[in-house]
Amino acid sequence: MSDIKYYTEEGLAKLKEELRQKEMIERPKISEQIAEARDKGDLSENAEYDAAKEAQGLLETEIAQLKNIIANARILDESDIDTSKVLILSKVKLKNLKNSKEVEYTLVAEHEADLKAKKISIDSPIGKGILGKEKGDIADVQTPGGVMQFEIVDISR
């Protein structure tokens, strides 16, 4: 099964920097903690050693996951985005039909989502609800608070 996910160049660069940080900075720190704990003697009752080994295991799992994500990442060319319907990297202006407020979001991959920057994941409830819709369509979005309706006001890049 393929785990291919699409990213902007910026998003992929952030993932690569996160991996570099974990491999080059965090991994040596944990190795140092393990060595210090080992030097304190009896490992069978050494809580510091156990904690450092557990942290090492968690870090190695995170590194492996990041490597897998990066290996399966594909960069999207924003100039190729079709603006006739909502796709990943589309900038979408939505109108909440309940209160008539308009919001604008850019749909991005899960790892790039940042609500402050108005970037929402295509896997979020709103992202899933508007994906594939066209300008003028009404999207029923299932949220924890119930179904919300949004009109697709505009789609751009």
Q: What pLDDT is recorded for position 1?
A: 44
pLDDT tens track of the chain, all 157 residues? 457 787 888 888 999 999 999 999 999 999 998 888 888 777 667 788 888 899 999 999 999 999 999 999 888 776 666 778 898 888 999 999 989 999 999 998 888 888 999 999 988 999 999 999 999 999 999 888 889 999 999 998 7
Q: What pLDDT is recorded for position 74?
A: 84
Tell me the domains of the chain and their CATH numbers.
Answer: 5-75 (1.10.287.180), 79-156 (3.10.50.30)
Angle between helices 47-71 and 9-21 (to 10 degrees): 150
Strands (E), the chain: 5-7, 73-75, 91-96, 102-108, 119-121, 138-143, 146-156
**What is the model's pTM?**
0.67
Q: What pLDDT is recorded for position 78?
A: 66
